[in-house]
Amino acid sequence: MADKSVEDNRTDAAQPAARAPRTVSSRDLLGGERLLVIQHEEEIYRLQLTAAGKLILTK
């Protein structure tokens, strides 16, 4: 009978490592503006910077 821990290690090693999601600065996205319009498929979204410095995404 094979050692189970060795089998588990082989299975883990065969799977590709997960990549971290890309990080984008809100300053880069907004480009100095307070509003960004985003088109996703057929929908339009608005990313807005509030006076309090918070972000609001609306459809």
Phi then psi for residue 16, to 5 deg, are -65, 150
The predicted-structure confidence for 9-38, as pLDDT tens digits, reads as follows 555 567 778 999 999 999 999 999 999 999
Into how many domains does the chain fold? Answer: 1
Within-domain flag for 20 = no
Handedness of CA 52, 55, 56, 59 (dihedral sign): positive
Q: How confident is the model at residue 3 (pLDDT cuts 50, 70, 90)?
A: low
Q: What is the pTM of this model?
A: 0.65
Within-domain flag for 27 = no
Domain residue limits at 43: 33-59
Amino acid in position 5: S
Q: Domain of 45: which CATH number?
A: 2.10.70.10
pLDDT of residue 1: 57
Phi then psi for residue 10, to 5 deg, are -65, -40
Within-domain flag for 49 = yes
Within-domain flag for 38 = yes
Task: Establish how many alpha carbons lie within 13 A of residue 24's alpha carbon, considering only the half-sphere containing its beta carbon.
Answer: 5
